[in-house]
C-alpha cells in the first residue's frame, strides 16, 4: 500500500487534487466507497460499512456532478450483481445525499431543489456553445428577457459569462454591477434553456457529447497552479475573517508568490505517460480478470466513473483540467491493483451480499 501510494503521488494528479481546497478529492472518494459497498461488503465490518456509507453520502452531496456518477455506479452494480441488495447499498448514499441537498437548500435558499441556481450555469454553457445565443437572438426583443440587451454579442466563453465583472451576469447593460447576478438570472435561464432544447435538441446533444469527449482527455493540473487560479478576492476574505498571521501565511505561499508552477514542473511530464499506459493496460487487465467478479468490478467502476465524471462536468459546465485531474489518477491506481497477484485472503463474494 505504501508503494502504491508513493507511485500515485509521484506519477499522477492524486496529491494535487487532494491538496486543492475544493471538493474535488471527494469524487474519487465517492467512487471507491461505492465500489466497496457494492462489491466488497463481506470484507467490511459493520462499522466500516457505516463509515463508508457516511463518507459516500457527504462526498456525493459535496458536488452536483457526483450525483450522476453515483447513479451510474448504482446501475452498474445492479447489472453486474443482478440482485437488488448490493445495488441498494450503492443507491442509499445517493438517496441520502439528495435528501441532504433538498433539506439544506430548503433551509438556506427557501427552495426544495437539488440545485436552486444550477440553471444559470447550464445557460452559460448553452450560450457559449451557440444554441442558447441563437435562441436569444431569435426571440428578442419580443420575450422581454434581461439578456435581450446582449443579443448578438454574448460571451462565447462560459467562464467569462459567469465570472467576469463586466459580463451580462454581473453587470447590467449600463455597466452597473449586479449583486448575485447569477441568482437574479435563474428564472429567465430556465425559460431560455427550455426554449433552446425545444428549438435545437440535436445541437445541444452534439455539443454535450463533444464536451464530454474533450473532458475525458483533459486531465492536467496546470490550471490550478498559477496565482490567478486562486482569485484576487480571496485575500480580502481571509483578512476579514482570520487573524493577520493567517493572511501572512497565505501571501507567503508558493502559489501566491508565483512559484508553484515552477515547483510542480518536474512532476507534470510524468502524468500523461502514466495515464496513457494505464489506459492501454486496464482493458487488458480487465480481460485477464474477467472471471474475477471483484477485480472486474473495480475496473468497470473506474472506467464508468471516468465517463460519468466527464459527462457531468464537461457537458453542463465546460471542460476543465481539474475536473479530469480529480479522478483520472484512479486509472493507474486500478491498473496497478489489478496487476498485483491475487491473494486468497478475501472472503468469496456471496450471492445477494
Predicted pLDDT at 139: 95
Residue 81's contacts (CB-CB under 8 Å, 6 or more residues apart) are 38, 39, 87
Predicted pLDDT at 350: 54
Predicted pLDDT at 353: 62
Residue 135's contacts (CB-CB under 8 Å, 6 or more residues apart) are 192, 195, 196, 199, 200
Please check whether residue 309 is in contact with residue 27, taking contact to mean a CB–CB distance below 8 angstroms: yes
Residues of the chain with confidence (pLDDT) below 70: 231-232, 343-353
Backbone angles phi, psi at 219, to 5 degrees: -135, 15
Handedness of CA 100, 104, 110, 115 (dihedral sign): negative
Predicted pLDDT at 342: 76
Count of Cβ atoms closer than 10 Å to residue 259 Cβ:
13
Cell numbers that stand for 298 in this block: 473495480
Please check whether residue 220 is in contact with residue 311, taking contact to mean a CB–CB distance below 8 angstroms: no
Predicted pLDDT at 348: 53
328, with CB counted inside 10 A (0-12, 13-18, 19+), is buried
Nearest Cα to Cα of residue 331 among 288, 293, 300, 287: 300
Rounded Cα gap, residues 150 and 123, in angstroms: 14
Please check whether residue 286 is in contact with residue 300, taking contact to mean a CB–CB distance below 8 angstroms: yes
Cell numbers that stand for 323 in this block: 475536473
Give the pLDDT confidence of 162-196 residue by residue, as tens digits.
988 889 999 988 888 888 888 999 999 999 999 99
Residue 18's contacts (CB-CB under 8 Å, 6 or more residues apart) are 25
Rounded Cα gap, residues 11 and 260, in angstroms: 17
Q: What is the rounded (10 degree) CA torsion for 272, 69, 285, 3? A: 60
Instruction: Tell me the three state secondary structure of residue 12.
Output: coil
* Cis preceding-peptide flag for 141 (omega within 30 of 0): yes
Q: Which residue is listed with cell 465570472?
A: 163
Give the pLDDT confidence of 12-50 residue by residue, as tens digits.
999 999 988 789 999 999 999 999 999 999 999 999 999
Residue 329's contacts (CB-CB under 8 Å, 6 or more residues apart) are 8, 12, 13, 14, 17, 28
6, with CB counted inside 10 A (0-12, 13-18, 19+), is exposed
Please check whether residue 267 is in contact with residue 10, taking contact to mean a CB–CB distance below 8 angstroms: yes
Residue 198's contacts (CB-CB under 8 Å, 6 or more residues apart) are none
Please check whether residue 333 is in contact with residue 279, taking contact to mean a CB–CB distance below 8 angstroms: no
Amino acid at each position: 500500500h505504501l508503494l502504491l501510494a508513493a507511485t500515485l503521488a509521484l506519477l499522477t494528479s492524486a496529491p494535487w487534487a487532494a491538496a486543492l481546497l475544493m471538493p474535488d478529492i471527494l469524487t474519487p472518494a465517492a467512487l471507491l466507497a461505492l465500489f466497496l459497498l457494492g462489491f466488497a461488503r463481506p470484507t467490511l465490518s459493520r462499522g466500516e460499512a457505516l463509515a463508508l456509507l457516511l463518507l459516500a453520502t457527504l462526498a456525493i452531496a459535496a458536488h452536483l456532478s457526483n450525483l450522476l456518477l453515483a447513479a451510474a455506479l448504482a446501475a452498474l452494480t445492479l447489472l453486474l450483481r443482478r440482485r437488488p441488495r448490493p445495488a441498494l447499498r450503492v443507491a442509499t448514499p445517493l438517496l441520502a445525499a439528495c435528501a441532504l441537498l433538498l433539506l439544506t437548500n430548503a433551509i438556506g435558499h427557501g427552495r426544495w431543489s437539488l440545485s436552486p441556481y444550477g440553471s444559470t450555469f447550464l445557460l452559460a454553457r448553452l450560450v457559449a456553445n451557440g444554441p442558447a445565443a441563437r435562441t436569444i437572438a431569435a426571440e428578442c426583443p419580443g420575450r422581454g428577457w434581461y439578456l435581450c440587451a446582449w443579443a448578438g454579442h454574448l460571451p462565447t466563453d462560459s467562464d467569462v459569462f459567469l465570472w467576469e465583472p463586466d459580463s451580462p451576469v454581473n453587470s447590467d447593460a449600463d455597466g452597473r454591477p449586479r449583486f448575485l447576478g447569477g441568482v437574479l438570472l435563474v428564472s429567465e435561464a430556465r425559460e431560455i434553456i427550455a426554449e433552446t432544447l425545444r428549438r435545437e435538441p440535436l445541437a445541444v446533444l452534439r455539443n454535450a457529447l463533444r464536451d464530454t469527449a474533450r473532458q475525458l482527455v483533459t486531465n492536467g493540473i496546470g490550471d490550478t497552479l498559477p496565482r490567478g487560479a486562486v482569485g484576487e478576492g480571496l485575500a480580502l476574505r481571509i483578512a476579514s475573517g482570520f487573524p493577520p498571521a493567517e493572511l501572512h501565511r497565505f501571501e507567503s505561499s508558493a502559489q501566491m508568490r508565483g512559484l508553484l508552477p515552477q515547483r510542480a514542473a518536474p512532476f507534470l511530464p510524468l502524468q500523461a505517460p502514466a495515464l496513457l499506459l494505464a489506459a492501454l493496460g486496464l482493458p487488458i487487465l480487465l480481460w485477464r480478470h474477467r472471471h474475477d467478479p471483484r477485480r472486474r468490478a473495480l475496473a468497470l467502476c473506474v472506467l464508468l466513473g471516468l465517463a460519468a465524471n466527464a459527462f457531468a462536468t464537461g457537458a453542463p459546465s465546460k471542460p476543465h483540467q481539474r475536473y479530469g485531474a480529480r479522478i483520472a489518477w484512479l486509472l493507474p491506481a486500478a491498473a496497478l491493483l489489478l496487476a498485483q497477484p491475487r491473494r486468497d485472503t478475501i472472503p468469496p463474494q456471496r450471492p445477494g451480499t
